């Protein structure tokens, strides 16, 4: 593949880009500038929840662009209000929502809600889990309990403590603790679902002490695991949950939702672009599509078939894989080791299949939720071919 004629001299080199230049896509199939097709098991890292060129989403975005893109939060915004109402309804809670533009921004809002809630009791500390990932802003980085992300960027704000697991989190609760924050399925850390019983007992412990459970559902939420929130699958009711990635179907949007009534007040928080007409319209239509997909049973069928093919692949190549992890369409094939992980990911790309890494030994699969059974079949054939070549 010819490298793109874009001069990297003008970009900060923070990303390791594969030399593939995509031009367009159709559902879960992408086409590069030379017209080669790729099957997408990555969704732009869990973002393209309704696939590429979704006719309903692209029509809504075009329609909104022809009216108003942005008006600021100084005026009423019907899309934003309707989206907040939809998020509350789908979450089965009385939540109020603040909109930002990214996952990290959603989490920053969650930290502020928790700190304000704890202020009167002198509580501000948030406990997070080892191998978590909560974003790249300074506070979200500090909440991310992986030392490798912290190098170069200190000093960090106080008020974050790390627990090895949920039992340890329960033990760490002290007089300064205000919240425990978890990903229901840890994404970047390795696609690791939390233990249900332990999470339920931690949630009860927190509730009994009037402390908060924050679920970062930025990667695992918005139907990625089969329900609107992954916490709904666990039967857990968070006090605060955060969303981003798949929410706008590719248009940037983040949301922090809380069941604490008026948790933030006038002047406490703001975001210039947050929840603008374009992003909230895109999210409204994306949620409409996904709610329908879930209600029709199509999402469930896709999840079953995708899971079957994951298991079959790991069984067919026992020298490369040791198993499958994850929930719904948030899956990882566990590679034998880091070298196998890298070789499989490279070979998949050579066979025109997009996959992601997670943790030190996992091949993460986050296909669009609208992926067809044919696209899944074709993707796994390419993965089989990639594995046979190793």
Site residues for ligand PLP per CB under 6 A: 102-104, 107, 133-135, 183, 187-188, 216, 218-219, 244
- Minimum distance between the CB of residue 265 and ligand PLP, rounded to whole angstroms? 25
Cβ at position 101, least distance to ligand PLP in Å = 8
Helices within the chain (DSSP H only)? 43-46, 55-65, 78-91, 103-119, 138-143, 166-172, 196-208, 230-234, 277-295, 298-316, 338-350, 373-388
Would you say 183 or 361 has its CB closer to ligand PLP? 183
Read off the tokens for 105.
């921004």
- Dist CA 358 CA 165 (whole Å): 18
The C-alpha atoms of residue 297 and residue 279 are separated, in whole angstroms, by 27
Distance in Å, CB of 344 to ligand PLP, minimum: 21
Write down the least CB distance from residue 188 to ligand PLP, Å: 6
Q: At CA 48, angle to CA 256 and CA 21, rounded to 5?
A: 130
Least separation, in Å, of the C-beta of 244 and ligand PLP? 5
d(CA 135, CA 349): 26
**Tokens matching residue 349:** 């790309």
Q: To the nearest 5 percent, what fractions of the chain are helix, strand and coil?
A: 40, 20, 40
Peptide bond into 368 cis (omega under 30): no
Q: Residue 315: helix, strand or coil by DSSP?
A: helix
Taking CB atoms, the residue at the shortest distance from ligand PLP is 103
Beta carbons within 8 Å of 145's beta carbon, 6+ residues apart = 128, 129, 130, 131, 132, 160, 162, 163
User: Nearer to ligand PLP by C-beta: 117 or 133?
Assistant: 133
C-beta of 145 vs 343, nearer to ligand PLP: 145
The answer to whether 219 and 187 have CB atoms below 8 angstroms apart is yes
CB of 160 to ligand PLP, least distance (A): 14
Angle at 282 between CA 242 and CA 353, to 5 degrees: 80
Tokens 């934003």, located at residue: 80
| Residue number, 125 or 188, with CB nearest to ligand PLP | 188
Q: Which is nearer to ligand PLP, 234 or 380 (CB)?
A: 234
| Closer residue to ligand PLP (CB): 244 or 255 | 244
Closest separation in Å from C-beta 46 to ligand PLP = 7
Beta carbon nearer to ligand PLP, 134 or 352? 134
Q: How far is the CB of 364 from ligand PLP (least distance, A)?
A: 11
Looking at the Cβ atoms of 216 and 375, the one nearer to ligand PLP is 216
Task: Decide the pairing of beta strands 37-40 and 353-354.
Answer: parallel
| Rounded least distance, CB 351 to ligand PLP, Å | 25
Who's near 158: CB < 8 A, 6+ residues apart?
124
Q: Which is nearer to ligand PLP, 309 or 364 (CB)?
A: 364
Q: Check whether the bond before 243 is cis (ω within 30° of 0).
A: no
Q: Is residue 143 within 8 Å of 132, Cβ to Cβ?
A: yes
Minimum CB separation of residue 136 from ligand PLP in Å reads: 6
Distance between CA atoms of 94 and 176, rounded to whole angstroms?
Answer: 27
- Closer by beta carbon to ligand PLP, 206 or else 255: 255
């Amino acid at each position: 593949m010819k490298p793109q004629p874009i001069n990297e001299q003008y970009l900060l080199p923070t990303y390791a880009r594969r030399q593939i230049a995509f031009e367009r896509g159709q559902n879960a199939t992408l086409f590069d500038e030379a017209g080669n097709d790729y099957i997408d098991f990555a969704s732009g890292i869990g973002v393209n929840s309704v696939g590429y060129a979704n006719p309903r989403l692209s029509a809504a975005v075009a329609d909104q662009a022809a009216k108003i893109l942005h008006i600021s939060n100084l005026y009423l915004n019907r899309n934003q209000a309707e989206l907040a109402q939809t998020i509350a309804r789908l979450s089965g809670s009385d939540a109020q929502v603040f909109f930002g533009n990214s996952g990290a921004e959603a989490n920053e809002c969650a930290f502020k809600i928790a700190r304000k809630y704890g202020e009167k009791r002198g509580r501000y500390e948030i406990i997070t889990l080892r191998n978590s990932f909560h974003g790249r802003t300074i506070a979200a980085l500090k909440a991310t309990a992986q030392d490798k992300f912290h190098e170069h960027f200190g000093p960090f704000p106080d008020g974050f403590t790390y627990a090895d697991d949920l039992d340890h989190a329960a033990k760490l609760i002290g007089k300064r603790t205000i919240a425990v924050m978890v990903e229901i399925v840890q994404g970047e850390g390795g696609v690791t679902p939390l233990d249900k019983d332990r999470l339920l007992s931690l949630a009860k412990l927190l509730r009994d002490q009037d402390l908060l459970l924050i679920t970062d559902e930025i990667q695992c939420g918005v139907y990625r695991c089969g329900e609107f929130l992954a916490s709904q699958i666990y039967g857990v009711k968070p006090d605060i949950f955060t969303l981003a990635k798949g929410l706008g179907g590719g248009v940037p949007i983040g949301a922090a939702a809380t069941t604490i009534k008026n948790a933030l007040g006038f002047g406490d928080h703001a975001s210039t672009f947050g929840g603008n007409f374009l992003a909230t319209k895109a999210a409204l239509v994306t949620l409409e599509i996904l709610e329908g997909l879930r209600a029709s049973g199509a999402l469930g069928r896709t999840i079953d078939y995708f899971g079957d093919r994951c298991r079959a692949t790991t069984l067919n190549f026992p020298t490369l894989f040791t198993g499958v992890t994850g929930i719904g369409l948030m899956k990882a094939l566990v590679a034998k080791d880091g070298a196998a992980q890298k070789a499989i990911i490279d070979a998949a790309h050579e066979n025109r299949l997009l996959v992601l890494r997670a943790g030190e030994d996992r091949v993460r699969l986050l296909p669009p939720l609208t992926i067809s059974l044919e696209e899944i079949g074709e993707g796994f054939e390419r993965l089989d071919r990639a594995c046979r070549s190793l």
